[in-house]
Amino acid sequence: MTTKIQSALISVYYKDGLETIVKQLHTLGVKLYSTGGTQKFIEQLHIPVTPVETLTTYPSILGGRVKTLHPAVFGGILGRRDNETDVQEMTQFNIPEIDLVIVDLYPFEETLAGTNEEKTIIEKIDIGGVSLIRAAAKNYNDVVIVASTKQYMAIENVITEKAGATSLEDRKQFAAWAFEVCAYYDIAISNYFNRDQPIQILNQSPKQSLRYGENPHQNATFYGDLHKTFTQLHGKEISYNNLVDIDAAIQLIREFDEISFAIIKHTNVCGASSRPALHQAWKDALSGDPESAFGGVLVCNGVIDKATAESISQIFFEVLIAQGFSADALHLLKGKKNRILLQCHADLMAPASMIKTVLNGVLVQDTDTVNYADWKEVGAKETSDSEKSDLNFANILCKHLKSNAIALVKNKQLIGKGCGQTSRIDSLRHAIEKAKQFDFSLQGAVMASDAFFPFNDCVKMGHAEGITAFIQPGGSVRDNDSIEYCKENNLAMVLTGVRHFRH
């Protein structure tokens, strides 16, 4: 069913882009109703507009909190044109039909981002706007609702190409967009009042279509605002796989206070070190596994200088993330057009929760931000200062490896790692093999495990290679097997009480 727009109610917070629509509606002879600032805006265009107060017989009251909440307004929106009783009642109470509603909402999220003053924030919770949007969207059979500037182009097309006539399909699409606007707005408000248990939503705005998903035959979209996380200084469009690895890289690097560099491949850390100088941190991170570093995502918590940039440029990498870049370093790194260079925001916070789709629903869990519940020395000897430092470093790295995970560390450098194996002993075998592949001595190294040792086989194998200290959460019914082996062989062991499975 096609209907022609003959009257419109316009009341918006932002006037950008509105002038063209108002002029087009006026050209079509559409009767305009409006309120407050929008009414003044239309009058300044020398276009006739009827104040809503002439319908309600009430001025805007309570500091602007009540303007359009009146049967004369909502009756004109909700009245069903094909319902004889509705039509009779609208005639009886002199309620004019309203065919188009253009309304946006108070900028609640923008206000929240700019102030902590509760009074100001509360005043930006829209009441009338949401009510008008929902009313018009509910009655899509007769009414067109434009609830966001994002739909301005679509309504302009209707006005110009169809001379203000809309099909039922048009109106239903505008209604769908409107309910999405309301849902997102209400969730933002709900999350303000429920900060400890915010509602997680997928369809956030803005959204970005990606070239493809994990594989070229899969479509993919990113929902969120990447600009709040980093600034892209150079390079090709960021892909789905890039984003997954970038997230893993940023989650890891935020764990370190010392100057650190890490290399990520398929979300696993394959090289990492902490050093007094960034250039040395890079070189030692790379030397841990230069083979796996090829095509990886590089991340550091410092500013890239020219010397470091020159070293980095000797290998092929997908993404480099840093707190900043010197001018000459940035110029050098831009020498390859596809390199993605990202400047990460220093105040970036870890997300409060993580989401994963499973079966016909989603799993939501708290982000793993706890490294230790305890530091319980249970071995034959107390860990030395250097062992403590290395164990802490290894425990963090292990937390960011896929389970089953083992990290071997020496002098705050990752020298071997095993991850994603179906048995813990296989992860250790892989870690030892990696260390030997690149000529690292395991004498005096330490070992971290993301979960408890179910048997003492990992401790025995590590000891045979020269490892002197172990860190693990504990919790196995056979913890004592590993602890006793350490005591019998003068080895150190720390129990943290916190498991770090990662699937």
Q: Which residues are catalytic?
A: 138, 266
Max distance between CA atoms of the chain, in angstroms, equals 96
**Tokens standing for 4?**
């022609």
Q: Is 271 helix (H, G, I), strand (E, B) or coil?
A: strand
Sort 487 into a burial class: Cβ within 10 Å, 0-12 / 13-18 / 19+: middle
Q: What is the DSSP string of 43-90?
A: HHTT---EETHHHHS---BGGGTBSS-SHHHHHHHH--TT-HHHHHHH
Sort 51 into a burial class: Cβ within 10 Å, 0-12 / 13-18 / 19+: middle
Q: What does the CA dihedral 6, 9, 15, 16 come to, rounded to 10 degrees?
A: -40
Rounded Cα–Cα distance for residues 14 and 118 (Å): 22
Sequence letter at residue 262: A
Assign residue 401 a region (left: φ > 0; alpha: ψ between -120 and 50; beta: otherwise): beta
Q: What is the DSSP string of 231-299?
A: EEEESSPPPHHHHHHHHHHHHHHTT-SS-EEEEEETTEEEEEEE-SSHHHHHHHHHHT-TTTTTTEEEE
**Tokens standing for 317?**
């990498």
Rounded Cα–Cα distance for residues 266 and 495 (Å): 29
Nearest residue to 442 (alpha-carbon basis) of 474, 406, 401: 406
Whole-number Cα distances in Å, 166 to 59, 68, 181, 352: 32, 25, 21, 44
Rounded Cα–Cα distance for residues 177 and 160 (Å): 21
Sort 410 into a burial class: Cβ within 10 Å, 0-12 / 13-18 / 19+: buried
Measure CA of the first residue to CA of the last residue in the chain; give whole Å: 52
**Tokens standing for 102?**
């253009």
Rounded Cα–Cα distance for residues 268 and 245 (Å): 8
Sequence letter at residue 62: L
**Tokens standing for 483?**
């602890």
Rounded Cα–Cα distance for residues 18 and 37 (Å): 13
